[in-house]
Amino acid sequence: MSHTITVAGVDVDTRHWIGGARVASARTFTDVSPIDSSILGEIARGTAVEAAAAVNAARDAFPAWAAVSRAERSRLLHAVADGVERRLEELAIVETTDNGALLRSHRRGVMPRVAHNFRFFADRLLELEHGDFGTRGHTQHVSWDPAGPCVLITPWNAPLMLATWKAAPALAAGNTVVLKPAEWSPLTASLLADIAAEAGLPAGVLNVVQGYGHEIGDVLTSHPDVRRISFTGSVPTARRITASAAANLTPLSLELGGKSPLLVFADADLDLAVDLAVEQYDNAGQVCLAATRLLVEETVAEEFTRRFTTKAARLVQGDPRDEGTDIGPVIHPRQLERIDGFVHRAIAAGARAVVGGHRGDGQHYAPTLLTDVTQDSEIVQEEVFGPVLTLQTFADEEEAVRLANDTRFGLAATVATGDPGRAERVTAQLVAGTVWVNCFFVRDLRAPFGGSRLSGVGREGGTWSFDFYCDLKNTVTAPSGWRSHG
């Protein structure tokens, strides 16, 4: 039986990567492309046996990897980045075929960011230090010690970028990794294992185990040898992971859902505000940071809506491999049903579809804008994770902030205004891990990233990543003139 499939001309191994070797499973799951529903291949379906083997491999490899110098770890991570750049086109076309996101985005933004994830943390590692400080003649020295094996559980909407956003700092910190990719988009994680091995990463330092979360998740997250868990995904799954990790008090970093607002004030550049709003349809709306709640000052709401509908009508839905396509398919029929259910229930409850409100061809969902929605309605309060926006109006700053903060989430927010004073006042009151003013999705790896409320626990990025993936140690040394105890 062959364990290799060919996807868009690229060979991909369908087995796990454990302890520096390919490992098959007795069972498989079917990977299907959202572009045309074609079967891409049968992927090794992990069990408790493979999950435990991956953790054991990471545990066994940890002491030697933790002892590797910072300079050598940095060199190896740069070598991984080199491998990503050499295979950028292959990674881009495989991921587009696997998850349906735009090929042009993968080529120009996503895969270069994958390489940058490794380079940034490789360089940051060499800069990591905290100046010593004195206390009554004693010297206090802060150090970042590797924590141990890390389990990284990643989503399907930006598979490789989010996997490496976690793996790069974990590896840079001197930890070993067990990566569990989403079963709807597993292929580029397998290619990453090949790239890491070719770069010289020692066996067991990076492991990839595939399968269903409900079958292997508990083994990974409850294992007593796992010292860190980082998860990006839904709130219900995060609750299960948290419960599983509780017995060992394993530290968690959770980046969860969002229901982010875009506040448009009357003094904003309306063309810019409309551009920001239409940008929320990126990746078919399957972006946790998406500002899906448009909150528009009532005096400009009519004009904003007119310009928005005109611009949204120009969006092209189609094959994500075509350069002219703006919106690709939704990743899975189950997700398509979920999105359609949200919209149908909202319309039945009195919402009006100003734009879209229906399925497109295949697994596409039409870009949708719903108005006449109430603040307590499901469509306003719950994450849809599809190309569906709502529009509400407000009378003043106080109401805008109240509506913006009135959900269980707090991942991000966007503010469009021409008044710097207003921007300062409003952003200070918004509950969000990231706030953008007159821009969207500008990210710097030096900055902290994470959410408030049900949008997550903890922050990663820059030094915050090392704070999470390391055990911080403070060593206090007495003044010179040691006293001997006989």
Tokens of 414: 């966007």
Amino acid residing at 192: L
- Which runs of consecutive H residues, i.e. helices, occur in 350-446? 378-381, 397-405, 420-429
Tell me which residue has tokens 């940051």. 124
Q: Is there a catalytic annotation at residue 288? A: yes
Contact 273, 311 (CB under 8 A): no
**Residue of 200, 164, 195, 252 whose CA lies nearest to 68:** 200
Report the chain's terminal Cα–Cα distance, integer Å.
Answer: 70
Amino acid residing at 156: W
Tokens of 307: 């310009």
Residues 6+ apart with CB under 8 A from 31: 39, 40, 41, 42, 43, 98, 183, 184, 186, 187
Catalytic site residue from 50, 90, 255, 297: 255
| CA distances in angstroms from 87 to 40, 109, 158, 246, listed in the order given | 20, 14, 17, 40
Question: Quick one: DSSP state of residue 108?
Answer: I
Tokens of 379: 């469509």
Contact 308, 89 (CB under 8 A): no
Question: Quick one: DSSP state of residue 145?
Answer: E
Question: Quick one: DSSP state of residue 246?
Answer: H
Contact 416, 276 (CB under 8 A): yes
Amino acid residing at 179: L
Cα–Cα dist 229/153, whole Å: 8
Tell me which residue has tokens 């060593």. 475
Residues in the chain: 486
Q: Is there a catalytic annotation at residue 255? A: yes
Q: Helix 187-199 and helix 159-172: axis angle, to 10°?
A: 40
Residues 6+ apart with CB under 8 A from 197: 17, 20
Catalytic site residue from 50, 90, 95, 288: 288
Q: Angle CA(100)–CA(24)–CA(118) in degrees, nearest 5? A: 55
- Which runs of consecutive H residues, i.e. helices, occur in 267-330? 270-278, 301-312
Q: Write out the catalytic residue numbers.
A: 255, 288
